[in-house]
Amino acid sequence: MSAVNKNISILLLAEKPQENEMAVFVDEDMIQTVLRNLLTNAIKFSYENSAVSIDAGVYHDDNRFLLVSIKDEGIGMSPNSINNLFKIKSMVHSYGTKNETGTGLGLIVVKDFLNKHNCEI
């Protein structure tokens, strides 16, 4: 189900870089997959008529890190779910706010792609 179908606003909070412009060298397809998966999950677990925000900015005093965040106003996760997020043996089917299904496999792919870029989630 899409953001349009659930009337979810997508808010881009990141400002266009000016003085602190930063170049990042990544596999574009992998990072697009990561962002698409995280955004899809945010929409899936968000309530109707809510918002998902995307933000990015330089992180750390030496300007060597880029922090990207995708935040939703959704159902949240139990501590047990959080502890098992990236464990393939502990994958559990979950349901979004409109009964959309999920297995957690996408997050395992996200973590793997980010690890290949020396990044963390």
Could you list the residue range(s) of the whole structural domain that residue 41 is in? Answer: 9-116
Residue 23 domain flag: yes
The whole-model pTM stands at 0.84
Mean pLDDT, range 57-65, rounded to an integer:
74
State the pLDDT at residue 94: 77
Residue 86 domain flag: yes
Mean pLDDT, range 99-117, rounded to an integer:
87
- 37 has a pLDDT exceeding 90: yes
Residue 3 domain flag: no
SS3 90: helix
Cβ atoms of 59 and 17 closer than 8 Å? no
Residue 4 domain flag: no
Query: How many structural domains are present in the chain?
Result: 1
Which residue did the predictor score with more confidence, 114 or 25?
114
Residue 50 domain flag: yes
Residue 41 domain flag: yes
Alpha-carbon gap, residue 69 to 93, rounded angstroms: 24
State the pLDDT at residue 17: 60
State the pLDDT at residue 18: 60
Cβ atoms of 110 and 31 closer than 8 Å? no
Residue 43 domain flag: yes
State the pLDDT at residue 1: 63
Tell me the pLDDT band of 91, cut-offs 50, 70 and 90. low
Which of 1-5, 11-15, 80-84, 117-121 has maximum average pLDDT? Answer: 117-121
Bridge partner residues of 72 (DSSP): 52
Residue 65 maps to which CATH number? 3.30.565.10
Tell me the pLDDT band of 103, cut-offs 50, 70 and 90. confident
